[in-house]
Every structure is written in structure tokens, then in C-alpha cells.
Structure 1
């Protein structure tokens, strides 16, 4: 009998794991060979040693092996670092990671529907998984192609190995990817769960490590191009669906890849820390810091920031401006004191709110403005 395979660890499992030499020799030398504790809760999510305490915010991470961090020490993994960073700012959270090797977008949606919703998270963070999603985009019938080991529908106890590719041409145009991302957004909206969507970093310039890994660099360049195209899809859907965006591609664009990743895709300790920091900032600004109404309910600020972007683009005469919660006047040359007054006036008129002088003076970034607007609309 066939079944839908949920990619997950064995529930309740606790194990110590050391990266084997055969794995380490394929890295760039930034993966430290040490014993790493893996804790899996009763629902098959990877968790830290931090116990859940009543009133902790529950955060669910969706992704592949890049956020699984199997060979990273438990307290240095992305999930644990997010907990630590949020706690340092006065926000206690319990993070549950559904990141598992060989996971793609369809797997994540199945997982969210079958056990993620039951967790009742206050926030879901989806990290794009270029490797498997790009393979699906190239395959006939995409995510439902059984020949490539992609289809989640499998025979009982069937062992499936992914058939990787060496050439990429954007065969499917990411059409199914777009539809599945829309479904992911719709599921979260219907269950009133704020969703953050994250792009994934490109490798960047070819270095000695990548030259050693690829005898034919054409394949590398093709995959980089498709990763970039996939990230554009994530950005477009996040904007269309008014979800929060974590643009890891742009955050890592000017950084040396080998300092933050131990191979082409998996972050080392330093990379995990930076990804966790960027993710935590997005969570704090959009959902946990000032986005709480007078009844203690979390407010999703993404729709407000989306509307602010339209206003900012018009007032600043910059149609390509990307407005995020952390954006400040120091980041945009056109955002001077005069245009700031125009922005405030436009916001008051179009969103039917009124600000006091002291309220405006306290604003330091777009996130502050969005939170202030939310408080006015909730009043």
C-alpha cells in the first residue's frame, strides 16, 4: 500500500552524531568534526535542550538539510540560536525545526498540514530549498515525478534516492513552485499563522573549493542561475501574498561564501549564527516585538509594510525601492526630512490614521511606523 511520506526524524529520538571523514573531506575545511547531540521531540521536530514554557512563542522552521544543521553542535544550530537571540531581547520562544535532508516544497506543505498546524505556531518561517526544488522544476511532472525520487507518494518502506542532475534549463518555469508557494501562504492565512519566506544565498564567485568540486563549471553556473530565478519567485509570491520576506540572498551577496558555509549549501557555525540573527530580526520586527494588540494577540505587520512600500516608492520617486521593516532614512538617499513629512502625510491620508508629533519623533525605522499604524488601526 502506498502512503504519503512525511520527511521527519524518528519521534522521541536522541542521538549523538559525528560527521564521518568521508563527509568532512568533501567540505571546505570549516566544518569542525565534533560530537553533535540531536534531540527530536515526540512529534518528529528537531528541538534544542530548552524546554517549552507556557506563553513561549512557538516558531516552526520549514526547510531542508541547510537548516537541519545535523553536523553543527546543538547550541549553535539555527533553531537554538534563534531562541537565544530572541531571549536576549526579552522574547521567549520555543523553536521547532522541520528541516530534513531531501525535503522540498511539497514535502513541507504535507508536513505543515499533517503536523505543523497542530503545533499551533505563532510564526512559520519557510526557507527556500534550491537543490530539490530546481530538480523538480526540470523533471517531467515536477514534484510528482517518481523517476527522480521526488514524489512524496511511495510504497511502504520504499527507500528512495534522489537522482541529481548536472544540467539545468528552467524547464518548468517554476510554475508548480509558484502554485505550491501560494498554497503554503493560503494554508497559513486560513489558520491565522504569520508566515515569513526566505530566499537562499547564492554561492557567488567560483573559488578553489568549487573548482575542485565541479569538473564542469557550466553545471555550477546553470544551478546558480536557477537558484537566483527561484529566489525571484519567492520574492514575488511574498510580495503578492503580503508575507514577510527574509532575503538571505541579498544579505549574503557581499560576503565570502566559504566563511559562512562548509560546502555549496550548508552553513557552518558562523553561517548558522548569521542566518539565525537575520531571521530573529525579522521575527521580532514583524511578529513579536511591537506587533501585539491590546489583547495580547500577535499582529502580522506584513500587509501594512506592503502598503507602505507603495507610498514610499511614490513619494521618493523610486519604483524599485524594496521596503523592509528594518529600512531607515540612512538607507535611502531620497528619504530626507522633507520627504519624511510627505510620507507621514500620505500615510495619514491613505490609511486614515493620525499621528502626534512625539509619536513621529520616536520612529526609527519602517517597522516602528508599521507597528504604530497597527496600534492606531486596532484602537
Structure 2
């Protein structure tokens, strides 16, 4: 009779038995200690919560090419657009001078980011450059916009990223992302996969570990693989409902089919509290706060491409416009109540395709128009601040 596998491999058999015994002992010890400790004791696997600093990765350089999700962008030039980030996560060009006469920062979302535009056409940069030329002074103008951000994200960015660079002026523009998140999630504090303000670091580490290792050792190959994957997916399925409004996939798919109950006073009330926090924080840190309304192509009789885009997102056009206008009114109201500067882009830029490539995003001509309106408001304030600074130094 042939020897059994166990007889032929005594060392492997002993190792297997030893491992089995150790595993059983560990399992038994864990069960015993669980009963004994009754949940008392530190555990690294417990949630490790942190506040999300929602920004693009510092030092990132990315090329964006409009695709199927931009099908409602009727004046967008279809080509590659480069987005470069500095070491602090600001969109470049950013810090031009080590010792500027004045620094200003623009806070906002994709309408401030100006992704589909050449670098020097983006109004946060352009406004600073035009002011610098007019006044003959050195200005650092920072673009802290991030697609998908709402006002609570910007408050966090203000406190933890902008305050340390000690700007004299911070301009904030929010509207559409705030009412969309409040409309679907009912609160700024929610569990939305990409827009929640609180995250579990353990979940982030587990879900991103392989991606981090991949991008650390084969970043260029990984980038091409992502592009290829995106191209393949776009061939098989169209953009989900509502994706074009945010420039991303449908983050609200799980709640989109639910009947929406719109309480405009409740939504604007939550938004106004964030605006007030922004104002208080700026003043407490000796920064001049400026609020800015958001311009759009929303009008009584909308262009077909705009009406179609909003309809596909599952929203009634009239209700959408009423919410958008109501949030701009809230911005005007808070600026008036707090006696701070208001830059009313919504009144200054006509709601026409000449200035926008979709509902709210500027094309280059719209960006130039926005920059011109901004500098007309900021110029006297900038002059005053610089004169006071020079008087103090002298």
C-alpha cells in the first residue's frame, strides 16, 4: 500500500497542523477576550473620522477633454484643457510674488475653477492681472475653486488653507451646488460619496490603497488606463441623469427618484447661515469678505439646450430658476445686512450663450466680462488697503 501524502510530507503536515492549531487558539482567545472585555479597549479598525479638505491634489497637472457628459455645452470648444495645481492646491498661475503688495483669493466651485478654459482666461487670474496693470502694484490672485464644492467646503478651505497665506481680500461665489445638495440630501452634513464634509480615513485608505501604490510606481501607465476605461464606458452607456449639471457622474442616483418637497425658505436659510459664517470668519482673521452672485443663462424663455439639460436632470425649469434666483437674493441680502461688498455678476452679465457654454459656466468672453465687473468693484478697495499698508510701513 502506497504511503499517504501525510507520510510522504511530514514537515508540511506538521506545519499545516501547527498553523491550524494557532488559528484555532487565536480564534478561541479572541472570543474569550471579547466576552471578558465587553467592548472595552482601543481598536484601530474603529471609524477614524476627519473633516474633508475638498480640493484638487496639490502639485497635480491634469488634462481635461470634454466628452459625452458635456453634450449640453453648446459653445464649448472641444479640445484639451490643462489644469495645474501649485503645492498648496491652488489653481495656477497663483503665487507670482514672494512679497506682494496685496493678495486676494477667489472661493467657489466649478464656476470659479473655470476648468474648460486657458489658464490666463480664468477670471480669478485675469482679475488680479488687470488690477495689477491698472494700479501698478504686485498682486497674488489665488483661485481656490473646486468642481462640486458648496459653501461649507469653502468655509473649511478658508479656515485651514487660506487663512495661513494671510490674504487681504477673499471673494466667495456659491449658489447652484448649495441648493442641489440641500434639495437632494436635505443637509450639508450627509453621506454623499464625494461631497460629504466628514469622512472615515480607514475607508479612504482601504478603498484607495491599490490606487495609491499603482500611481506611485506606474503613474503614466495608470493615467492611460484610466483614460481608456473612461472611453470604453462612454461607448456603452450615456451619462447618467443630472451628471452634466455638476460635470461629474450622478452622485444623487440613490435619491433622485424620490419626490422632492421644495421648501425654499428652509434651503435659503441654511445657505444664509453659511454665508454669515464666512463673513464672521473673515472679519475675525482681519480679511475683507466679498460676496458675489452667480450669473447664468436662466431666463424666462430659456434656450432649448438649457431647458433640455435641466429637464433631463429631473428638475422643473421654473422651480430650478426660482431656487437659483432665490439663492442669489440671499447673497445680496447678507451683503447688505453685514455692510460688505457685493459683486453682482448675475445682474452684470446678460443670460446669453455669448457668455456661457452651459447653464452657469462662463466661456472665455464671459470670463473676461466677469473679470471686468470684479475689478471695477475691487479697485477702490484694493487702493485703500495698499495705501493703508504703505502708511503703516512708513
Establish whether TM, by shorter chain, passes 0.5: yes
Q: Distance in 2 between matches of 1:148 and 1:226?
A: 24
Is contact 2:356–2:366 with CA below 8 Å preserved after alignment? yes
- Report whether the alignment pairs 1:259 with 2:354: yes
* 1:268 alignment counterpart: 363
1:80 to 125, 132, 142: 125
Distance 1:140 1:10 in 2: 26
Q: TM-score, normalised by structure 1?
A: 0.70
Describe the superposition over 1:105-146 as per-residue Cα deviations: whole angstroms up to 9, x where unpaired. Answer: 100001111111001011100012x22211233356511122
Structure 2 counterpart of 1:117: 163
Asked whether the 8 Å contact 1:64–1:103 carries over to 2, the reply is yes
Q: CA deviation at 1:49?
A: 6.8
Q: What are the ranges of 5 or more consecutive residues in structure 2 without an aligned counterpart? A: 1-47, 209-248
In the superposition, the TM-score normalised over structure 2's length comes to 0.68
Aligned to 2:286: 192
Query: Which secondary structure does the structure 2 equivalent of 1:283 belong to?
Result: helix
Equivalence for 1:169? 262
> Following the alignment from structure 2 to structure 1, what is the Cα–Cα distance between the partners of residues 170 and 281?
11
| CA distances 1:52-71 after superposition (whole Å, capped 9, x unpaired) | 24224111110000111111
Unaligned 5+ segments in structure 1 are: 299-379
Q: Which moved more, 1:160-169 or 1:240-249?
A: 160-169
Q: State the 1:275 CA deviation.
A: 1.0
Q: State the distance in 2 between where 1:120 and 1:84 align.
A: 19
Question: 2:179–2:267: 8 Å Cα contact kept in structure 1?
Answer: no
Q: Is the 8 A contact 1:64 1:100 kept in 2?
A: yes
Q: Give the Cα–Cα distance (whole angstroms) in 1 for the partners of residues 81 and 310 of structure 2.
A: 29
For the 8 Å contact 1:59–1:95, the answer to whether it is kept is: yes
The answer to whether the 8 A contact 1:6-1:111 is kept is yes
Higher percent of residues as helix: 2
Deviations 1:218-252 (A, max 9, x none): 61221110111111111111111111000111112
Is the Cα–Cα contact under 8 Å of residues 127 and 371 in structure 2 kept in the other structure?
Answer: yes
1:106 to 138, 146, 152: 152
Q: Does 1:32 align with 2:77?
A: yes
Q: Which has the larger radius of gyration?
A: 2
**Contact (CA 8 Å) 1:58, 1:95: kept in 2 or not?**
yes
State the secondary structure of the residue aligned to 1:47.
Answer: coil
Aligned to 1:178: 272
Deviations 1:349-370 (A, max 9, x none): xxxxxxxxxxxxxxxxxxxxxx
Cα pair distance change 1:10/1:223, threshold 3 Å: same
| Aligned equivalent of 1:6 | 53
Instruction: Give the drift of 1:162.
Output: 3.1
Alignment partners' CA distance in 1, 2:159 and 2:94:
26
- The farther-off stretch of 215-224 and 170-179 is 215-224
> What is the rounded CA distance, in whole Å, between the counterparts of 1:110 and 1:288 in structure 2?
25
| Partner SS state of residue 144, structure 1 | coil
For 2:365 and 2:107, locate their aligned partners in 1 and report how far apart those are by CA, in whole Å: 20
Residues 72 and 305, structure 2, Cα contact 8 Å, conserved in 1: no
Match of 1:340 in 2: none
Query: Comparing both chains, which one has the higher relative contact order based on Cα–Cα distances under 8 Å and sequence gaps of 6 or more?
Result: 2
Contact 1:37 1:74 in 2 (8 A): yes
Partner of 1:322: none
Maintained 8 Å contact 2:103/2:168: yes
Deviations 1:253-300 (A, max 9, x none): xx2421111011111111111111111222212x212455555269xx
Deviation at 1:210, TM superposition (A): 1.8
- C-alpha separation between the residues in 2 aligned to 1:40 and 1:69? 13
SS where residue 184 of structure 1 aligns? helix
Q: Number of residues paired by the alignment?
A: 292
Superposed CA deviations along residues 324-377 of structure 1, whole A, max 9, x for unmatched, are xxxxxxxxxxxxxxxxxxxxxxxxxxxxxxxxxxxxxxxxxxxxxxxxxxxxxx
Cα separation, 1, equivalents of 2:250 and 2:58: 22
Per the alignment, in what secondary structure is the counterpart of residue 59 of structure 1? strand
SS for the counterpart of 1:296 is helix
User: Following the alignment from structure 2 to structure 1, what is the Cα–Cα distance between the partners of residues 197 and 159?
Assistant: 14
Cα 1:149/1:13, change in 2 over 3 Å: closer
RMSD (CA atoms): 2.6
Q: Aligned partners of 1:64 and 1:99: how far apart in 2?
A: 5
